[in-house]
């Protein structure tokens, strides 16, 4: 599926979501964030040449997978988080093998810090990103480490100034207390059918794409293998976290979609055997079916 076809498909899904049901349930700001996120995914692919052939499949895959998660359309905060996470990854990838890139590192973690103001649990990714900066991006040094810490605390510093002015730090302490919002044992009875379908599909296509990438990664440049290693690590750990804490589904499934998009795009673009061609149509048709099932359940 080409990028223009995916864009037309997305416009149709959004039209159904916004005008086929309750117009107040879906708003234009969320759609603007979705368009911005899609453009940033295209730029992420173009600036890093994630696929060894000229293709915009990464952006198209992101659009199709995002449309599958209908509930994500209704949340403005979730849409802003989506843009913030992609901006973080986009800036981090620009620091590849550059341990002096304190400025880019600062802005990457600033984007993550702003997203964590909307959803505190995103701070869980800070240690993971440091590890990946060492193992995959080779960009962690004392300068970039300090820059990342400053980037994370900058939005909280501005918020603290306002809270100091009104002399009420309760909103910040309540927000950070969400970092301890683990539920044991996990409440799987609260998982909706939509969430279950989306999770299973993303897990299956992610694992399929990961296995394919590991089999044929020798054909890619070292730079691309490192970047995909980043996507794979974040994807698998996020899927595991959602499985252990399903109440966090709505926030973390967006990160799974971001990381699964290049992995699935790599599989669908660079495989041409009979079986993989069949798998392409099975994946695409299943995704579309799940999308319309979720639309039907909402309306």
Half-sphere exposure of 68 (CA within 13 A, CB side): 29
Q: Is the sign of the CA dihedral 169, 175, 84, 122 positive or negative?
A: positive
Q: Within a domain: residue 182?
A: no
Ordered DSSP codes for 135-148: HTS----HHHHHHH
Q: Within a domain: residue 66?
A: yes
Number of CB atoms found within 10 A of residue 116's CB: 25
pLDDT the model gives residue 83: 94
The token duo for 37 is: 């996120």
pLDDT the model gives residue 132: 96
Q: How far apart are CA 206 and CA 67, in angstroms?
A: 17
Residue listed under structure tokens 């020798």: 218
pLDDT the model gives residue 129: 96
**Pair 82, 261: CB distance under 8 Å:** no
Q: Within a domain: residue 93?
A: yes
pLDDT the model gives residue 1: 62
Q: How far apart are CA 154 and CA 173, in angstroms?
A: 16
pLDDT in tens, the chain (299 residues): 677 888 888 888 888 877 765 555 557 888 889 999 999 999 999 999 898 888 888 999 999 999 888 777 778 888 899 999 999 999 999 999 999 999 999 999 999 999 999 999 999 999 999 999 999 999 999 999 999 999 999 999 999 999 888 888 888 888 888 788 787 777 888 888 889 999 999 999 999 999 989 988 888 899 999 999 999 999 999 999 999 999 889 889 999 999 999 999 999 888 877 777 888 889 989 999 999 888 887 76
Enclosing domain of residue 151: 3-175+189-298
Q: How far apart are CA 220 and CA 171, in angstroms?
A: 48
The token duo for 208 is: 């399929």
pLDDT the model gives residue 145: 96
DSSP character for 185?
S
Q: Within a domain: residue 181?
A: no
Half-sphere exposure of 286 (CA within 13 A, CB side): 14
Q: Within a domain: residue 184?
A: no
Number of CB atoms found within 10 A of residue 217's CB: 15
Q: Within a domain: residue 217?
A: yes
**Pair 133, 139: CB distance under 8 Å:** yes
**pTM beyond 0.85:** yes
Q: What is the domain count for the chain?
A: 1
Q: Within a domain: residue 252?
A: yes
pLDDT the model gives residue 73: 75
pLDDT the model gives residue 37: 94
Q: Within a domain: residue 180?
A: no
């Amino acid at each position: 599926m080409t990028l223009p076809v995916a864009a037309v498909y997305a416009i149709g899904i959004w039209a159904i979501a916004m005008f086929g049901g309750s117009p107040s349930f879906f708003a234009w700001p969320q759609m603007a964030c979705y368009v911005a996120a899609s453009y940033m995914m295209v730029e992420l692919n173009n600036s890093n040449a994630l696929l060894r052939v000229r293709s915009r499949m990464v952006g198209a895959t992101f659009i199709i997978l995002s449309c599958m998660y209908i509930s994500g359309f209704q949340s403005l905060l979730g849409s802003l988080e989506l843009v913030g996470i992609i901006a973080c990854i986009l800036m981090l990838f620009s620091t590849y093998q550059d341990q002096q890139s304190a400025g880019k590192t600062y802005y990457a973690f600033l984007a993550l810090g702003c997203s964590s103001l909307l959803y505190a649990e995103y701070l869980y990714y800070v240690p993971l990103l440091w590890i990946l900066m060492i193992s995959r991006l080779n960009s962690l040094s004392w300068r970039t480490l300090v820059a990342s810490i400053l980037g994370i605390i900058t939005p909280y510093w501005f918020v603290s100034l306002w809270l100091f002015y009104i002399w009420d730090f309760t909103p910040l302490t309540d927000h950070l207390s969400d970092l301890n919002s683990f539920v044991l044992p996990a409440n799987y009875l609260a998982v909706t059918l939509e969430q279950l379908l989306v999770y299973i599909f993303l897990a299956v296509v992610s694992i399929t794409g990961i296995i394919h990438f590991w089999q044929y990664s020798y054909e890619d440049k070292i730079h691309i293998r490192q970047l995909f290693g980043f996507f794979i690590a974040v994807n698998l750990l996020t899927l595991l976290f959602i499985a252990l804490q399903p109440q966090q589904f709505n926030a973390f499934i967006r990160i799974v979609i971001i990381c699964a998009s290049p992995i699935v795009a790599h599989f669908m673009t660079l495989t041409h055997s009979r079986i993989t061609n069949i798998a392409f149509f099975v994946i695409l048709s299943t995704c579309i079916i799940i999308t319309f099932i979720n639309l039907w359940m909402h309306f």
